Amino acid sequence: MNLLDYVADRWDRLSLQAWLHVSEVVQSTLIAAVIGVLIGVAVYRSPIGSAVATALASTILTIPSFALLGLLIPVFGLGALPTVIALVLYALLPITRNTIVGLAGVDPAVTDAAKGIGMSRTAVLTRVELRLAWPAILAGMRVSTQMLMGIAVIAAYAKGPGLGSEVFSGLTRAGSANATNQALAGTLGVVILALLLEGVYFLIARFTISRGIRG
């Protein structure tokens, strides 16, 4: 059986797994975005706070994903929960880092003017600073999503949902007829989905970043 026949044959299962894969990655990215932006907003005015937050987040990123997953299994068991926790933790660094860099990069003259013409503290943050940092935040989310697509494959080890299970069954059935097809379908599926998400990010950037600050 060649790859195309295989995919056509197992389309129902593969498309469901593809959907689950994207869904867990996107949800984890969104959770991480909320947390990361909140952390960024909380610390960006303090150089020491920024340093600690980014140092912590980048340390998390250094941890091998398989090791982190292993450590989460005894605590949270198997399935979606440890997977999402691991994915959110990994997604935090790029988003937090870019939020801090983005907010710190806002021209002080602009925030001074915003205060000077009578914007409240919250308005300065939501209408000016976060809007100006948004391209950087979105770029961080994009990097996170791409990273998570690969890590989510490993999460299938902890019985997490998604295309990783294809790769694992391909591995355990090494030598049997469809082993390679299965692993290939899982791997290529992730690559294709990652490219599609890249396109989605491009569109989001197109529609949410003001023309005045688009690169």
Partner 1 sequence: MAENVSGVEIQLENVTKRYPGTREPAVKDFTMTIPAGKIVILVGPSGCGKTTTMRMINRLIEPSSGRITIGGEDALKLNGDALRRKVGYAIQQAGLFPHFTVAQNIAVVPGLLDWDKKQISERVDEMMDLVGLDPAVYRDRYPRQLSGGQQQRVGVARALAADPPVLLMDEPFGAVDPITRGNLQDELLRLQLELRKTIVFVTHDFDEAVKLGDKIAVLGDQSTIQQYDTPEAILANPANDMVAGFVGAGASLKQLTLLRVRDVDYHDDALTVVAPDSSPSDLRRQMTEKGKTYALVLDARKRPQRWVHVRDLSTASTLASVGRPVGDMVSTQSTLQDALEAILSEGGNAVVTGSRGEYVGTIDITTVTDTIQQLREEHDAGSAAS
Partner 2 sequence: MSSTTEIQGFSTESGSRRADRVRLFAQPVAVVVIVGLVLVWAFTRSNDSIEAESIQAGVLLDKTWEHVLITLVVAAIVVGIGVPLGMVLTRSWARPVAPLFIAIANIGQAAPALGVLVLFFLWTEWDGLWAAALPIAFYSLLPVLRNTIVGIQSVDPALVDAGKGIGMSSSGVLFRIEVPLAVPLILAGLRTSLVLAVGTATLAFFVNGGGLGELVDTGYKLNRVSVLVVGAVLAVGLALLVDWVGALLEEYLGPKGLT
Residue ranges binding partner 2 (CB under 8 A): 47-48, 50-52, 54-55, 57-59, 61-68, 70-71, 73-74, 93-94, 97-98, 100-102, 105-107, 132, 136, 139-140, 143, 146-147, 149-154, 164, 167, 170-171, 174, 179-180, 183-184, 186-187, 190-191, 194-195, 213
Binder of residue 170, out of partner 1, partner 2, none (CB less than 5 to 8 A by kind): partner 2
From residue 132, alpha-carbon distances to 32, 73, 89, 129, 208 in Å are 20, 40, 25, 5, 11
DSSP 7-55: HHHTHHHHHHHHHHHHHHHHHHHHHHHHHHHHHHHHHTT-HHHHHHHHH
Contact yes or no for 147/94 (Cβ under 8 A): yes
> Quick one: what does residue 205 bind among partner 1, partner 2, none, with the CB cut-off 5 to 8 Å set by partner type?
none
Given partner 1, partner 2, none, residue 123, with its beta carbon under 5 to 8 Å by kind, binds partner 1
Closest CB 200 distance from partner 1, rounded Å: 22
Query: How many C-beta neighbours within 10 Å does residue 190 have?
Result: 23
130 in Cβ contact with 141 (< 8 Å):
no
Nearer to partner 2, 84 or 135 (CB): 135
119 interacts with, out of partner 2, partner 1, none, CB within 5 to 8 A per kind: partner 1
